[in-house]
Amino acid sequence: MLNKYARAFFTRVLTPFAALLIRLGVSPDAVTLTGTAGVCAGALVFYPRGEFFWGTVVITLFVFSDLVDGNMARQLGRSSRWGAFLDSTLDRVADGAIFGGLTLWYAGRGDDNVLCAVTIFCLASGQVVSYTKARGESIGLPVNVNGLVERAERLVISLVACGFSGLHKFGVPHIDILLPIALWIVAVGSAVTLVQRVVTVRREAAEADAGERTVPQGGEAR
Ligand SMILES: CCCCCCCC/C=C\CCCCCCCC(=O)OC[C@H](COP(=O)(O)O[C@@H]1[C@H](O)[C@H](OP(=O)(O)O)[C@@H](O)[C@H](O)[C@H]1O)OC(=O)CCCCCCC/C=C\CCCCCCCC
Ligand SMILES: Nc1ccn([C@@H]2O[C@H](COP(=O)(O)O)[C@@H](O)[C@H]2O)c(=O)n1
Ligand SMILES: [Mg+2]
Ligand SMILES: [Mg+2]
């Protein structure tokens, strides 16, 4: 949903910044790599210590690089298969760091086995949701479904809740309840999305296989 409705807005806002980076001689790949390094640093330095506010501030500063890199590549007319591969692969690394950092908190000083398990589920299910699309497309299917909770939703729900929960350390009472609520929402939403994508791939695969059986290559329909 965000990918559909918010992308156009962020493209307009970020285009001048992307153009500036191009004029400075920065490459899209450098932005992809720097953005991922920044997100990983923010998540793995701050989250395991329960510094949710500052961790989220650092991550937010870097996570938009994921919209800037593609914007730069398109402005340069240099959108490439390598760029698409690098972008998606490093998305998985960044997601792993965000939910990994939260997992380390709940496994350590946050000391909550249930939320630790929910966070691991968010991490694993998010990666599998992305995999379903990549694998489906790699076997030649359109995978015409995005599902309830795509990556943008997973990030926005988790990061907004994390940032606000971090205000608990500055004396705002009860606000830390937002993070567990968000994690449960992302976990359930990812499970639903996974089912939506698997069902779609199953239908598309059955249709494609049936089409191949009725019309053999170079032959007439039986
Ligand atoms: C006092 C309060 C403290 C508050 C602290 C700050 C709060 C932080 C708030 C928000 C931060 C949100 C940032 C989220 C930005 C997300 C940007 C992003 O990375 O989007 C990427 C996404 C997809 O790009 P790709 O095509 O490269 O990705 C593909 C896709 O992800 C596939 O995913 P999947 O299959 O898993 O579903 C992958 O398969 C594929 O491999 C991958 O390549 O881009 C978009 O979707 C575009 C839309 C971006 C929308 C961003 C919306 C941000 C909106 C609101 C921010 C709210 C701010 C509220 C702050 C309140 C503070 C007072
Ligand atoms: N280093 C990069 C990064 C991205 N691309 C291209 O942009 C597409 C992704 O666009 P986003 O707006 O989602 O970042 C990607 O599929 C590539 O075509 C690139 O070429 N080099
Ligand atoms: Mg990108
Ligand atoms: Mg990306």
Supply the pTM of this predicted model: 0.92
- Which ligand 2 atom sits nearest the alpha carbon of residue 32? 1
Q: Is 91 a catalytic residue?
A: yes
The 3-class secondary structure across 107-134, one letter per residue, is: HCCCCCHHHHHHHHHHHHHHHHHHHHHH
User: Does the C-beta of 80 come closer than 6 Å to ligand 2?
Assistant: yes
Residue 189 backbone phi and psi in degrees, to 5: -60, -40
pLDDT band for position 214 (cuts 50, 70, 90): confident
Average pLDDT, the chain: 95
The H or E element containing residue 222 is none
Q: What would the pLDDT profile of 98-115 be if each residue is shown by its tens digit?
A: 999 999 999 999 999 999
Point out the ligand nearest to the CA of residue 63.
Answer: 1
Q: Where do the domains of the chain lie?
A: 9-212
Q: Which fold has domain 9-212?
A: Four Helix Bundle (Hemerythrin (Met), subunit A) (1.20.120)
Sole residue written with tokens 């053999």? 216
- The ipTM is 0.86
pLDDT band for position 212 (cuts 50, 70, 90): confident
